[in-house]
Amino acid sequence: MKLLQDKVVLITGASRGIGKSIAEVCVAQGAKVAFTYLSSEEKAKALEAELAKNGGEVKGFKSDAAKFDDAQKLVDDVVAAFGTIDVLVNNAGITRDNLLMRMTEEQWDEVINTNLKSAFNLTKAVQRPMLKAKAGSIINISSVVGVSGNAGQANYAASKAGLIGFTKSVAQELGSRNIRANAIAPGFIETEMTDVLDPKVVEQWRSSIPLKRGGKPEDVANLVVFLGSDMSAYVTGQTINVCGGMLM
Ligand code: NAP
3-state DSSP of the chain: CCCCCCCEEEECCCCCHHHHHHHHHHHHCCCEEEEEECCCHHHHHHHHHHHHHCCCCEEEEECCCCCHHHHHHHHHHHHHHHCCCCEEEECCCCCCCCCCCCCCHHHHHHHHHHHHHHHHHHHHHHHHHHHHHCCEEEEEECCHHHHHCCCCCHHHHHHHHHHHHHHHHHHHHHHHHCEEEEEEEECCECCHHHHCCCHHHHHHHHHHCCCCCCECHHHHHHHHHHHHCHHHCCCCCCEEEECCCCCC
Q: Is 16 touching ligand 1 by the criterion CB < 6 Å?
A: yes
pLDDT tier for residue 115 given thresholds of 50, 70 and 90: very high
Cα of 37 vs centre of ligand 1, distance in Å, is 9
**Does residue 245 lie in a domain region?**
no
pLDDT tier for residue 72 given thresholds of 50, 70 and 90: very high
234 is catalytic: no
Q: Is 10 touching ligand 1 by the criterion CB < 6 Å?
A: no
pLDDT tier for residue 194 given thresholds of 50, 70 and 90: confident
Q: What residue numbers bound the domain in which 148 lies?
A: 8-239
User: Which pLDDT does position 128 carry in this prediction?
Assistant: 97
Cα of 196 vs centre of ligand 1, distance in Å, is 13
**Does residue 3 lie in a domain region?**
no
User: Which pLDDT does position 57 carry in this prediction?
Assistant: 96
Q: Is 121 touching ligand 1 by the criterion CB < 6 Å?
A: no
CATH code, domain with 109: 3.40.50.720
Q: How many domains does the chain have?
A: 1
Mean pLDDT of 132-150: 98
Q: Is 12 touching ligand 1 by the criterion CB < 6 Å?
A: yes
Ligand 1, from 11, 12, 15, 18: best to mutate by most atoms within 8 Å of Cβ?
A: 18
Mean pLDDT of 79-90: 98
**Does residue 1 lie in a domain region?**
no
pLDDT of residue 54 exceeding 90? no
Whole-model pTM over 0.95: yes
